Amino acid sequence: MPEFQSVRGFHDLLGEDLRKFRHVSQHLREKLKLYNFEEVVLPVVEYLEVFQRSIGEVTDIVQKEMFAFKDQKGRWLALRPEGTAGAVRAYVQNRLYALKPHVKLFYEGPMFRHERPQAGRYRQFHQIGAEVFGSIDPLVDAEIIQLVYEFLSELGVPSVIEINSIGCRVCRPAYRVALKEYLEGVSEHLCQVCLDRKDRNPLRVLDCKVPTCKEAVRGAPKMVDFLCQDCTEHYAKLKEYLQLLSVPYRENPYLVRGLDYYTKTVFEAVSPELDMTLVAGGRYDYLVEELGGPPTPAVGFAAGLERLSLLVKELPREEPLYMVLPFGDVMDYALAVVKSLRSEGKRVELSYKRAGLKKQLELANRLGVSYVVLVGEEEKAGGFYLLKDMETGQQVRVEFNPAL
């Protein structure tokens, strides 16, 4: 083993994995452009308080998973564990609310969480996320879910979209009380962590992955039965729009998210194969205000690029690779051939080894070359080169005169 290893949970992305990763990212970016989202590049570091205020103090992310540290002046900073908090901070700081009736932003980049690493769960991972600021209309929620659904279907990644409404300031308090009461009754079946959660953040118990907890919450009261009129109508409209848009979904009355800022709509796209969430999001109508902006409803989502890459089975075929092999005193001519091929948009390697034909062809094979271009003194003198198809062995003469 080499002396230096990457830090646990931090990975190099390369080769086929990276090609899949880029494929996912490119596809989602194109989709976001079609929906008129504009990119924003956000800092990786924010003041710790930005995350504490938005994600919530009693959440796994803030309590256990954050890479937080003091800078030289003793101020608490943190590597971002997610993108929404920073996006909202930027929206407020740059006064984007003053510019347009609504604002649609997307971001892409690394996120950091101190979690136990496993397949599809890392300490540095990447997300593309999108946010719409300025509209309460459930049509926006529906369009966001439609975007996610189209993206996943076109990518060929099987998933199920689950939705729920977790209410608002008006109706959630009564639900919390009812849920807490229910959890008291089943407390002997709850894990140690959930015993603490049940008092401080009971909704999070619904999200616990421990089997006995999952079993225990089966008969719990459902938020949908507690929704106020406004939230009931909002949720009904969302479902109506999803049907109108032919987006299949499953209602999951126990779906909650690990971040406190959500209101009304929450949703996830879950992979049955990985048994993990690929894309997650929802509405957060109070967060802009919470971070010092004017009251502004908003809704968004974040997609985990590594998890999605794991599910990409087939990549589009790569452009064929050409390799120019110079023989003899012909480098000027060979370089002109290389330049001309690249100017036509072809992917071209120039052989850096001086060797005989057999050795050169062997080398080209190992590099995965589709076509070799043979350039010798005869070719230079005659103004042509030989193009050899490595698969069929067929060879054709191509006229080439760099002076023209």
Rounded Cα distance, 205 and 217, in Å: 8
The helix or strand, by DSSP H or E, that contains position 333, with its residue range, turns out to be: helix 331-343
Q: Which is nearer to ligand ATP, 85 or 341 (CB)?
A: 85
Rounded Cα distance, 10 and 193, in Å: 27
Amino acid letter, residue 243: Q
Site for ligand ATP in 305-334 (CB under 6 A): 306-307
Phi, psi of 110 (to 5 degrees): -75, 145
DSSP 298: E
Strand duo 371-375 + 321-326: pairing: parallel
Q: Which is nearer to ligand ATP, 54 or 277 (CB)?
A: 277
Q: Compose the 249-278 pattern: x for residues touching ligand ATP by CB under 6 A, - for all others.
A: ---------x-----------------xxx
Q: Which is nearer to ligand ATP, 29 or 121 (CB)?
A: 121
| 8 Å CB contact between 277 and 258 | no
* Cα 130 to the center of its chain, rounded Å: 10
Site for ligand ATP in 81-110 (CB under 6 A): 82
**CB of residue 98 to ligand ATP, shortest distance in Å:** 30
Q: Which is nearer to ligand ATP, 307 or 388 (CB)?
A: 307
Q: Is 125 in the site for ligand ATP (CB under 6 A)?
A: yes
Rounded Cα distance, 399 and 380, in Å: 10
DSSP 318: P
Q: Which is nearer to ligand ATP, 162 or 306 (CB)?
A: 306
User: With contacts defined by CB under 6 A, how many residues of the chain interact with ligand ATP?
Assistant: 18
Give whole-number Cα distances, 330 to 246, 336, 372, 397, 402, in Å: 62, 10, 16, 17, 13
Q: Is 165 in the site for ligand ATP (CB under 6 A)?
A: no
Which residue minimizes CB distance to ligand ATP? 304
**CB of residue 81 to ligand ATP, shortest distance in Å:** 8
Rounded Cα distance, 380 and 331, in Å: 10
**CB of residue 128 to ligand ATP, shortest distance in Å:** 10
**CB of residue 280 to ligand ATP, shortest distance in Å:** 4
Q: Which is nearer to ligand ATP, 126 or 172 (CB)?
A: 126
**CB of residue 62 to ligand ATP, shortest distance in Å:** 12
* Cα 44 to the center of its chain, rounded Å: 15
Site for ligand ATP in 290-309 (CB under 6 A): 302, 304, 306-307
**CB of residue 123 to ligand ATP, shortest distance in Å:** 7
Q: Which is nearer to ligand ATP, 278 or 369 (CB)?
A: 278
Rounded Cα distance, 290 and 166, in Å: 18
Stretch that binds ligand ATP, among 35-43, 117-125, 284-292, 324-332 (CB under 6 A): 117-125
Strand duo 395-399 + 384-389: pairing: antiparallel
Q: Is 121 in the site for ligand ATP (CB under 6 A)?
A: yes
Site for ligand ATP in 209-248 (CB under 6 A): none
Rounded (10°) CA dihedral 93, 98, 100, 103: 20
Q: Which is nearer to ligand ATP, 127 or 360 (CB)?
A: 127
Rounded Cα distance, 231 and 378, in Å: 80
Phi, psi of 170 (to 5 degrees): -75, -50
Instruction: Output the six-digit token pair for 216.
Output: 């225990």
Single residue of 79, 140, 161, 280 touching ligand ATP by CB under 6 A:
280
Q: What does the binding site for ligand ATP look like in residue numbers (CB under 6 A)?
A: 82, 113, 115, 120-122, 125, 127, 258, 276-280, 302, 304, 306-307
